[in-house]
Amino acid sequence: MGIDPGLRTTGWGVIEVSGSKLTHVANGLCLSGAGSLAARLLALHEQLSEIVTRFAPTAAAVEQTFVNRDAAGTLKLGQARGIALLVPAQAGLEVGEYAPNAVKKTVVGVGHADKRQIDHMVRLQFPGIEIAGPDAADALAVALCHAHHTGGGNRLAAALARAGA
């Protein structure tokens, strides 16, 4: 399971790894809506918990926080990321963490790829899937990155080579 944390929108993606074969299982978005920070974090926790219960992943990976100039925004994102780390840990899963540039480099071939490039490469890896939105595509990219770094990425490497990345 890959998770792209965000306070308003947290993307998630579940893939299955069987040897070098990677298969899309599901993807989606957790939305926190309006309200207090505590209520929004609780909404993310409840939704991610339901997804972990429904799909029973055996591993999880979370994208690390991108630090920007807005310290308050970065702090809130960090709190959402805390929920993204907590939920799989509560389910007893090991949780991998990857820098945004590492995810992009693994999936696209360059560390400064934009969201369109990530979406494109995820669609190449899983032809014909419906992606719930850019955050879900990013979460699938995190899952692909984790699969690659834990030995299930032979198919990903082959797909990248075919795409000329």
Annotated binding-site ranges? 4, 63, 135
Name the catalytic one among 16, 46, 135, 138.
Answer: 135
Catalytic, 135? Answer yes
Catalytic, 138? Answer no
Alpha helices in the chain (DSSP H): 37-55, 71-90, 100-107, 115-125, 134-149, 154-163
Length, in residues, of the chain: 165
Catalytic, 63? Answer yes
Question: For residue 126, which amino acid is it?
Answer: F
Place of tokens 């069987």: 18
Q: For residue 135, give Cα distances in angstroms to 33, 122, 138, 152.
A: 16, 12, 5, 23
Name the catalytic one among 4, 16, 70, 114.
Answer: 4
Binding-site residue set for Mg(2+): 4, 63, 135
Q: Annotated catalytic sites, by residue?
A: 4, 63, 135
